[in-house]
Structure 1
Amino acid sequence: MLLDRLKYDLSPENIACEPREVRLGSRDRGRMLVVRRSEGLLEDSQVLALPEFLKAGDVLIINDSKRLPGVLKTHTREGAQIEFRLTEFSSDQTCLARPYPTHFVTPNLRVTTDTGSVLTVIETNVGPHKLCVLKSNDDLVEVLKVDGLPITSFFYKSYWNIDHYNPIYASEEGSVESPMAGLHFTEKLIAELRTKGIHVCPVTLHVVGSWLPFLEDAVDSHIAQAEWYHIPQETAERLAEARAAGARIVAVGSTSMRAIESAALVSGVVPAGSGVSTLYLKPGAEFRAVCGYFTNFHPARSSLMVLDAAFTPVDLLMRAYHHAQRRGYLFQEFGDAILYL
């Protein structure tokens, strides 16, 4: 399948430019389009109604990875400005990043942040996205906390505080991008889910480079980035109970989906433990454990939409997206939600 099959034109009025808590007063007040895959039906609803679409015993999987600022604005000794967008950490002081612009960036280049932290370019032109290896003289996480800005889409009105980009349950630092589907949840909504008997269980998957553009024309030609994940013992036990009872496992966002499906055995059992995933979920993929998917409306021609198309027939997926556009749903990270059942 060609990636252009997942192309759509997005109007400005369908783009959410502010966090939901700023725009609506609460994260859980967005709209939600429900897609019934087997019947091919679409239903307009709200995120607050999510408990109504799940049953007691179902398991909702959330990713507790916590986002750090991922953009460093630096300058060279001559005064040239260079922005580095991080993709992943290699060590406490080393990371992979994409520089803007690239023509100043060569091995051994030293740059400085506004507060005086010094970073050195170790290697350039790494991988198909032409990343560089960047080394800090100081602990890189601390440099990001002092000097960093969140990785954000270019159409946002401004940079927001990093808390606006993290789900309320985020606790495990390790990503420079956050699992944005989790931004729909509030403590009240989670309490309502649990009151109904729905189990809300964490996994951890540290996101790597999901903002990088899809370079290939053919979906099958893409290779997924390696990402570390962890399935806690308690989560594994809940999943086993749900499986035995015939209850559903619903992933919140692509990161929770990849963590569970990376760990799942052929039998559908999801054992506890940690690992590194290169799982690439594309049309034709087998989903061993997850049977429901709560997520955002994703950018056209992106790896995130490829995963959506793996979980839902492409024709139905595109019909859902066009329906959402016509009905005035908001897209992108701060936009509305879509629930595939």
Structure 2
Amino acid sequence: MRLSDFDFDLPPGSIAHHPVKPRDAAKLLHVTASALGDHSVRDLPGLLQPGDILVANDTRVIPAQLSAKRGEARIGITLDRPLADGTWQALARNAKRLHDGDRLDFDGADLTATVADRRADGSIALRFDREGDAFAHALAQAGALALPPYIERPDGPTPEDTSDYQTVFAQPDGAVAAPTAGLHFTPALLAALDARGVKRATVTLHVGVGTFLPVRVDDVTEHRMHAERGIVTAETADLINRTRAGGGRVVAIGTTSLRLLESAASADGTLGAFAGDTSIFILPGYQFRIVDRLMTNFHLPRSTLFMLVSAFAGRERMGSAYDHAIRQGYRFFSYGDASLLERAA
């Protein structure tokens, strides 16, 4: 498979720079095997069946964008994920100026870190001078949201972004980027889903900075995904397994939830508890084990996310769906509209 197989023309005006409000007023394109249906996110309960289960990612976005100095040199830092040894993996602009043992002083807070390791892939490991609640407090002072580069913010994230870029499901800190399909949900929509008899569960996948990185190889099978930390509890796995055994469909809210569920699935389609890193890369030809429906935003051309939805619903079908979405004025990516995809047979 070539990267060009997943290319399409996307007008720059199709990329959303602000969300619609209220959140559930966004458009929703229902993609089935035989038809495309134009809806709003508020219509979601009627598109599902009693006994289905929605599975959302409950990660909370942290202010991962930092500015630091090493002596007189200015260094831009984007946190990626915490590592088992207590350090943080990060990406650094001007990384060539850094060496193991260098001290970084961060703007906006009394916060410092030492470069614990510089890696060949350009990432670094940072050991901060504090942890736990003290680190979270300092990070809130020094950090800013690492908004995707295609969202125009010449002066940086706005106060509105602080709430707009967080889902109603958000609980444990750890994501660099929001699981954006979850941004469409409101308490009123959740209440309507409950009234419809749709079950709900959450998993945790801390979305890393790798989600912003482009595919740089022509043969997409050679692309390697960045690892991200995920958790599926035994209780959640049991609920999903019982739902499937009873005939309910598993509806993943977002590609992050889908990737984690498929990472935790066994060969026989049983979901197990999971706590660890996943770097699963889903391309056409992948045999899905758990997820029956996928609610997701509209993705950029040549991206791993468009490859995933092509694997889930079919490349030709998704090409037609995206052509329709562009013609009908759907808004793309993080702050954009949504689609509900039925899995190809």
Q: Same fold (TM over 0.5)?
A: yes
Q: Find out whether 1:133 has 2:125 as its counterpart.
A: yes
After superposition, residues 207-286 of structure 1 pair within 5 angstroms as 207-208=207-208, 209-286=210-287
- Tell me if structure 2 keeps the 8 A contact 1:219–1:306: no
Partners of 2:79 and 2:54 in 1: how far apart? 30
Match of 2:158 among 135, 157, 160: 160
Residues of 2 paired with 1:17 and 1:273: CA distance? 35
CA distance in 1, matches of 2:7, 2:70: 39
Cross-structure match for 1:338: 339
Once residues 243 and 95 of structure 1 are traced to their aligned partners in structure 2, the CA distance between those partners, rounded to angstroms, is 38
Secondary structure of the 2:36 match is: strand
Query: Aligned partner of 1:147: which letter?
Result: A
Provide the C-alpha distance between the structure 2 equivalents of 1:266 and 1:329, rounded to a whole number of angstroms: 37
Q: Is the 8 A contact 1:47 1:184 kept in 2?
A: yes
Match of 1:29 in 2: 25
Say whether the 8 Å CA contact 1:65–1:171 is kept in structure 2. yes
CA contact (8 A) 2:69 2:106 kept: yes
Is residue 93–residue 137 contact of structure 1 (8 Å, CA) maintained in 2? Answer: no
Residue type matched to 2:194 in 1?
R
Shift of 1:131: 1.3
Give the partner amino acid of 2:30. Answer: V
Q: How many residues align?
A: 332
1:272 corresponds to which letter in structure 2?
A: A
Q: Which amino acid aligns with 2:123?
A: L
Residue in structure 1 matched with residue 115 of structure 2 by the alignment: 121
What's the TM-score once normalised by structure 2's chain length?
A: 0.90
Q: 1:54 aligned to 2:54?
A: no
> How far apart, CA to CA, are the structure 1 residues paired with 2:140 and 2:129?
15
CA distance in 1, matches of 2:297, 2:316: 18
Alignment match, 2:105 = 112
The alignment status of 1:86 with 2:86, answered yes or no, reads no
Structure 1 alignment gaps of length 5 or more:
none
Q: Deviations over 1:87-125 (max 9, x none)?
A: 211158521211123443333332211223222223324
Moved over 6 A (4+): none
Assess if the C-alpha contact under 8 Å between 2:49 and 2:197 holds in 1. Answer: yes
Deviation at 1:31, TM superposition (A): 0.5
Mapped to 1, the partners of 2:17 and 2:265 lie a distance apart of 36
SS at match of 1:210: helix
Distance in 2 (CA, whole Å) between partners of 1:83 and 1:273 is 33
What SS does the corresponding residue of 1:224 show, helix, strand or coil?
coil
Deviations 1:276-318 (A, max 9, x none): 3232211111101101000111122122122112112112112
Question: In structure 2, what is the Cα distance between the partners aligned to 1:96 and 1:9?
Answer: 35
Aligned residue number for residue 101 of structure 1: 94
Task: Specify whether residues 3 and 148 from structure 1 end up closer, same or farther in structure 2 by C-alpha distance, changes over 3 A only.
Answer: same
Does the Cα contact within 8 Å between 2:81 and 2:228 map onto a contact in 1?
Answer: no
Partner in structure 2 of residue 145 of structure 1: 140
CA distance in 2, matches of 1:96, 1:142: 19
Offset at residue 237 of structure 1 (A): 2.9
Partner SS state of residue 334, structure 2: coil
Shift of 1:132: 1.7
Alignment map for 1:284-323 (pairs within 5 Å): 284-323=285-324
Q: Counterparts of 1:331 and 1:270 in 2: how far apart (Å)?
A: 32
Letter in 2 for 1:5: D
Q: 1:273 to 1:332 in 2, by over 3 A?
A: closer
Distance 1:29 1:52 in 2: 15
Q: From the superposition, tell whether residues 82 and 276 of structure 1 become closer, same or farther in structure 2 (CA, over 3 Å).
A: closer
CA displacement at 1:150 relative to structure 2: 0.8
> Partners in 2 of 1:275 and 1:249 — Cα distance?
22
Residues in 2 aligned to 1:147 and 1:91: alpha-carbon distance in whole angstroms = 23
Identical residues among aligned pairs (%): 34
- Looking at structure 1, the residues matched to 321 and 289 of structure 2 have their Cα atoms a distance apart, in angstroms, of 24
Offset at 1:46? 0.8
Cα pair 2:110 2:138 within 8 Å, conserved: no
Deviation for aligned residue 1:25:
2.7
The CA distance in 2 between the partners of 1:143 and 1:91, in whole Å, is 21
Please, what TM-score do these two structures have when normalized by structure 1?
0.91
List gaps (5 residues or longer) in structure 2.
none
Calculate the aligned-residue CA RMSD, in Å: 1.9
2 CA distance for matches of 1:116 and 1:92? 23
Partners in 2 of 1:224 and 1:89 — Cα distance? 17
The aligned residue for residue 3 of structure 1 is: 3
